[in-house]
Every structure is written in structure tokens, then in C-alpha cells.
């Protein structure tokens, strides 16, 4: 009998990958499956970015790079953050990692241990709760609700701080809800944090370029008063349709750069060199493809929100960001999980139960609209039939 570490049993998962496998298995059996489950753009990585990756390999960039990333890539990230948020970032505080996830892994491992508390959005990206539990810390949910457009409430967050609180995770625009937290709420949170100087903040801004209806992204980088305890996670996966390249970055407080770099050295040494050259081309090249993708996402968002609201027993609020709709399906008499299974098994439409994103997701189902308008329409009509 193998004796595994107890911590392993506390590690959760991201159901999107399991649903993807189930959808692929059904498709392999000849079933026509429409995948509105996985959260990745259905667009290809823009050509000039792919070419830069290929060219890097041709040019002989086959070796290790610095553990924190190539200097020119870190400089390009800093310049991009200045351009997008008007925030001044020292390239030495930027750490390039293989995707968005490693930053949350490292931040949670740095602060989490038995006795510590970490706050996280619920419903939220499932890896937050999974890793907090894995670290031994106590997960403290920040409950998000539809009546607040799935934005966090700063007073609630501040009222949940205890002497054991080490880290607060926020995510706007959010997965799975599409919620965007207004600036007033972020202002209030930052002001309240002045009284808690030993609490760190991880702001997951991976969807920072995906907002609709004239909304603007408010980066936590714009609050100099918390920069000494702020980690901002972002990356290439969503913005540049580069999920499979595994490329992300974070801006770290200067005092934690050496620690996170040590974690990188222990974990992955450095990020694949050609992916970093591709990422450099993404940041420094034309941004037209990003704008075009956003036009398509916006059209699909209107389409899916309206179509979901036309289904019996379903209501869907206006998703302000990312590429997810998060309708309430309670009026159908189904639980979230039953709805997910019915949609996949009977309608051939992969979606994800709201409970996969935490207990506060009960009653909801996540639909990713990173799929064609035609497929979205077909999916909704199939769901209408099974309902
Ligand atoms: N953060 C959020 C909120 C996400 O939704 C995702 C991916 O779905 C990630 C981070 C991870 O991104 P990556 O695929 O780059 O690891």
C-alpha cells in the first residue's frame, strides 16, 4: 500500500478539464457535441505571434532562459502595463511563468499554512480554493451574488479579515460569472486595507482586456499604497488566444521577487524560450487581432444572454466581462449538476455546473461563449428541446 501525503487528498481540481475529456469521449463515439465548457478562445493565435515562436526555434533559442524570464520580455510586460493601465512597473518585479496558474500556486504556497486564512471569491476560479486547502490554510469565501452583478462587496471582504488573514484573492473580470467589480468598490477595499498592513492581495487580472458595454478595467496596480504587498496575475492565454503555449506573468512586490524566483527554479527552471519570444511579439506587435476577437466576443455575448433568457426557467444577467455567461437555472427544477449532465448527455452541449466553482455557485451553470455564433444558437435550441 503506497503511503501518500495527506495534503494530496485536499487538492481539488478544475472540472473544465474533466468535462472537456467527457465531451471528447462522447465526440469520439460519434456524438455531435458543442463545447461551451472550456474557457479558451476558439480563435487561433495570431500569425505574427506563431511566426515569432517558430523563428526563435530557428534562431537557436533552445536553452534555458533566466528563471524569472527573458529581460526583454519583462521589459515589454512593464511597457504594456504602462500603456494599458498607466501604471509604472519595474521590469525586475515582473516574473514570467508557464501560464496564469503558477502565479496563484506560488502566491498561495507562500502565504498558506495551517492556522492561516486566505480569502477567495466564491463562485470563483476553482483552483483558488483547491490550493488554499492543499496548503493547509483555511479557505474563507468571499460570497458573490447576482444581485450585486457578481462584484465583490468591499465591506464584506474587510469585515472577514481576522488576525489569521494572510492573503485576499480577488478576480475582476471574473471567471465563472463574467462579473466586473466597479472602481468605487475597489477604492473602498484599498482604503480599508490601510488598517491591515500585513495582509497581502493577489489580484487575478487575466481577463483585464475583456470587458463590454463601455466598462473599463481597474487594475490594482493603480493603487501605489498597496504595491508593497500586491501580486497582479496576468498573461497571454486569453488575450492572445495562447492557452496552449503556457505563458503568463505577474508583477510581484520587490520584497517577494527573490522568493518567487526560487519557487520558479525549484518548479520549472524557466519558461520555454520560444514561447517567450512569441509572447514578446504579442506585446510589441499589432493589437488588431485582440480588437477583432473582442468584437466577436461582444456579439456572441449579446446573443447568448438573450437566448438564455428565452429558455423556460432560466434567467441570465448581463455578463460584463471575460467570455462567460452564468445563468440561473433553478426555475427548471434542476440542480446545477443535473442541468450540466442533462445538457451534455441529452442535448450534446458541454457546460459546467456552477458548483464546480464553489458552493455559492449552486443554481447556476457556466456557459463559455468562446464558440461560434452558429454553435451558440444550435446549443441553445438543443437545450430548449430537452428542457
Ligand atoms: N485565472 C482565471 C480567473 C482563469 O479563468 C484562468 C483560466 O481559465 C487562469 C487564471 C489560468 O490561466 P492559464 O491557462 O494561463 O493558466
Structural domains in the chain, sorted by start: 6-44+288-386 (3.90.1150.10), 63-284 (3.40.640.10)
All three cell numbers of 320, joined, read 460584463
pLDDT given for residue 40 in this prediction: 87
Mean pLDDT across 119-132: 98
| pLDDT tens, residue by residue, 278-329 | 999 999 999 999 999 999 999 999 999 999 999 999 999 988 999 999 999 9
Identify the sign of the CA torsion 18, 21, 24, 26.
Answer: negative
Q: Is the pLDDT of residue 18 over 90?
A: no
- The answer, yes or no, to whether any atom of ligand 1 lies below 6 A from the CB of 98, is no
Length of the chain counted residue by residue: 387
Ligand 1 atom with the smallest distance to the CA of 176 is 5
Residue 42 and residue 36 in contact, taking contact as beta carbons nearer than 8 Å: no
Nearest CA, atom 5, ligand 1: 175
Question: Nearest Cα to 176, choosing from 43, 50, 380, 340?
Answer: 340
What confidence tens digit (pLDDT) does each residue in 136-179 have?
Answer: 999 999 999 999 999 999 999 999 999 999 999 999 999 999 99
Residue in the block written with cell 494572510? 166
pLDDT per residue over 52-78, tens digit each?
A: 999 999 999 999 999 999 999 999 999
> Does residue 368 line the site of ligand 1, with CB under 6 A?
no
- For residue 219, the model assigns a pLDDT of 98
pLDDT (0 to 100) of residue 15: 83
Q: Mutate which of 45, 217, 238, 239 to test ligand 1's pocket (most atoms within 8 Å of Cβ)?
A: 238
Q: How far is residue 72's CA from residue 7's CA, in Å, rounded to a whole number?
A: 38
Q: What is the pTM of this model?
A: 0.97
Burial degree of 214 (CB within 10 A; 0-12, 13-18, 19+) = exposed
pLDDT in tens, 178-200: 999 999 999 999 999 999 999 99
Q: Which three cell numbers stand for residue 315?
A: 434567467
Percent of the chain with pLDDT over 90: 94
Give the atom of ligand 1 at the shortest distance from the alpha carbon of 237. Answer: 15
What is the spatial distance between Cα 164 and Cα 184, in angstroms, rounded to a whole number? 27
Pick from 112, 230, 226, 233: which is nearest to 175 by CA?
233
What pLDDT score does 252 carry? Answer: 98
pLDDT of residue 226 exceeding 90, the answer is yes
Distance CA(354)–CA(323), nearest Å, equals: 15
Amino acid at each position: 500500500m503506497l503511503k501518500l501525503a495527506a495534503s494530496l487528498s485536499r487538492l481539488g481540481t478544475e472540472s473544465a478539464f474533466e468535462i472537456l475529456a467527457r465531451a471528447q469521449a462522447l465526440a469520439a463515439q460519434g456524438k455531435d457535441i458543442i463545447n461551451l465548457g472550456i474557457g479558451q478562445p476558439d480563435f487561433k493565435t495570431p500569425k505574427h505571434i506563431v511566426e515569432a515562436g517558430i523563428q526563435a526555434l530557428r534562431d537557436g533559442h533552445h536553452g534555458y532562459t533566466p528563471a524569472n524570464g527573458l529581460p526583454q520580455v519583462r521589459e515589454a510586460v512593464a511597457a504594456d502595463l504602462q500603456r494599458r493601465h498607466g501604471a509604472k512597473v519595474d521590469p525586475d518585479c515582473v516574473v514570467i511563468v508557464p501560464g496564469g496558474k503558477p502565479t496563484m500556486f506560488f502566491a498561495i504556497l507562500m502565504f498558506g499554512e495551517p492556522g492561516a486564512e486566505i480569502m477567495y471569491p466564491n463562485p470563483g476560479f476553482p483552483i483558488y480554493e483547491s490550493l488554499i486547502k492543499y496548503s493547509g490554510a483555511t479557505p474563507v469565501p468571499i460570497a458573490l451574488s447576482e444581485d450585486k452583478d457578481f462584484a465583490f462587496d468591499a465591506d464584506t471582504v474587510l469585515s472577514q479579515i481576522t488576525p489569521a488573514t494572510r492573503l485576499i484573492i480577488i478576480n475582476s473580470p471574473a471567471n465563472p460569472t463574467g462579473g466586473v467589480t466597479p472602481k468605487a468598490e475597489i477604492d473602498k477595499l484599498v482604503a480599508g486595507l490601510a488598517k491591515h498592513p500585513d495582509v497581502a492581495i493577489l489580484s487575478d487580472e487575466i481577463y483585464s482586456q475583456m470587458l463590454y458595454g463601455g466598462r473599463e478595467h481597474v487594475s490594482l496596480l493603480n493603487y501605489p499604497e498597496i504595491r508593497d504587498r500586491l501580486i497582479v496575475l496576468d498573461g497571454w492565454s486569453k488575450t492572445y488566444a495562447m492557452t496552449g503555449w503556457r505563458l503568463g506573468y505577474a508583477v510581484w512586490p520587490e520584497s517577494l521577487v527573490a522568493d518567487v524566483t526560487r519557487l520558479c527554479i525549484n518548479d520549472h527552471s524557466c519558461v520555454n524560450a520560444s514561447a517567450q519570444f512569441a509572447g514578446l511579439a504579442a506585446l510589441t506587435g499589432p493589437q488588431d487581432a485582440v480588437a477583432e476577437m473582442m468584437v466577436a466576443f461582444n456579439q456572441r455575448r449579446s446573443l447568448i444572454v438573450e437566448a438564455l433568457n428565452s429558455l423556460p426557467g432560466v434567467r441570465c444577467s448581463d455578463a460584463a466581462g471575460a467570455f462567460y455567461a452564468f445563468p440561473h437555472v433553478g426555475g427548471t427544477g434542476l440542480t446545477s449538476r443535473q442541468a450540466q449532465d442533462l445538457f451534455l448527455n441529452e442535448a450534446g452541449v458541454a457546460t459546467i455546473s456552477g458548483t464546480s466553482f464553489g458552493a455559492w455557485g449552486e443554481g447556476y451553470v457556466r456557459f463559455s461563449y468562446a464558440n461560434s455564433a452558429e454553435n451558440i444558437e444550435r446549443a441553445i435550441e438543443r437545450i430548449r428541446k430537452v428542457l
